Amino acid sequence: MKATIHITLKNGVLDPQGKAIENALGSLGFGGVDEVRQGKLIEVRLDETDADKARATLTDMCEKLLANTVIENYDIHLSEA
Amino acid sequence: MQAAVIVFPGSNCDRDVAVCLEAATGQAPLMAWHGDANLPKCDLIVLPGGFSYGDYLRCGAMAANSPILREVVAQAHKGAAVLGICNGFQVLTECGLLPGVLMQNKGLNFVCRNTQLTIANNKTAFTSLYGAGEEITIPVAHNEGNYFADDDTLKQLQDEDRIALTYAKGDNPNGACLDIAGISDTSGRIVGMMPHPERRAEAALGGDDGKRMFTGVVEMLS
């Protein structure tokens, strides 16, 4: 089972890198960009075949290591691939 | 008294801290490697600056889950004094001994320069030899020193007098909330700070404002 975990900054947490990218897009002539937020994508392959058990394990991984929940949200996507 | 410096792969201020501790205690501190599962009982533990584990994932996140940190946390809970400097402060927040997080500097640049600091609380284990409100000069050198915590946590830090050090007005190098340069736990024995006191601990380094961090805690523990 394959998991794709998106880790993003919580709303209200300043994202200086996203802001810099937003400014760079503007200077390249891309108009109409309201906001850019930068995050992380982590892929994990698991032996587990039960989706519920996999999700529980991945949630535990996110809480303990993959995300810092003071400033970050995480979103887990599971697929059979 | 027994002092220890925790050494991670990527630590780079461990030996500077060891020099300060030896000057303060009269004996060389124990240098404990990150993979050690056992740490002899210590009165004082310092987590030094550097780039532990290459700052992988998040600064301090890997170090916070290393074998030696379980020992550090256990001894901290039993009363050892713990100082986290720069990357060490990041480790202390990641392992939960201190609240909040050190985010990337607001200006996106690595900042390496002297900062003017105010001693906001001189009742912690490491600031007892400074005057309340005393202004001192200690350098910072970091890319992720922007202290952030939610409003409730910040209020709690203020209410419980746990902000140990602040950047002087107008001298905040990283955008930290409330100009926070260092905080403590509720007991005042566990302190994390972004500035490097070991880099300004004797006249040959341009000043010795940082020295009392080490002599103060040693005096308290002796």
CB of B114 closer than 8 Å to CB of B139 = yes
What is the model's pLDDT at position A12? Answer: 87
Question: Does CATH place domain A2-79 in 3.30.1280.10?
Answer: yes
In this complex, the residue of B65, B101, B104 whose CB is nearest that of residue A70 is: B101
Q: How far is CA A31 from CA A15, A21, A37, B55, B109, in A?
A: 20, 13, 16, 35, 26
Backbone angles phi, psi at B147, to 5 degrees: -65, 130
Where along chain A do its domains lie? 2-79
* B61-97: pLDDT as tens digits: 999 999 999 999 999 999 999 999 999 999 999 999 9
Average pLDDT over every residue of B20-33:
97
CA-nearest of B115, B64, B122, B70 to B88 is: B64
Q: How many structural domains does chain B have? A: 1
CATH number, position B76: 3.40.50.880
Q: Does A51 touch chain B (CB under 8 A)?
A: no
A41 at interface of B, judged by CB pairs closer than 8 A: no
Mean pLDDT of B164-188: 97
Grouping H, G, I as helix, E, B as strand and the rest as coil, residue A68 is coil
Pair B139, B196: CB distance under 8 Å: yes
Contact B34, B8 (CB under 8 A): yes
The answer, for A66 touching chain B at a CB cutoff of 8 Å, is yes
Q: Kindly report the nearest CA distance between residue A81 and chain B, in angstroms.
A: 25
- Residue A40 has a pLDDT of 96
Mean pLDDT (chain B) is 97
Low-confidence ranges of chain A (pLDDT < 70): none
pLDDT digits (tens, 9 = 90+) for B113-162: 999 999 999 999 999 999 999 999 999 999 999 999 999 999 999 999 99
CA–CA dist B206, B200 (Å, integer): 7
Residue A80: the pLDDT is: 87
The yes-or-no answer on residue B219 being catalytic is: no
Full domain range(s) for residue B133:
3-221
Residue B183 reports pLDDT greater than 80: yes
Mean pLDDT of B194-207: 97
Three-state DSSP at A69 gives coil
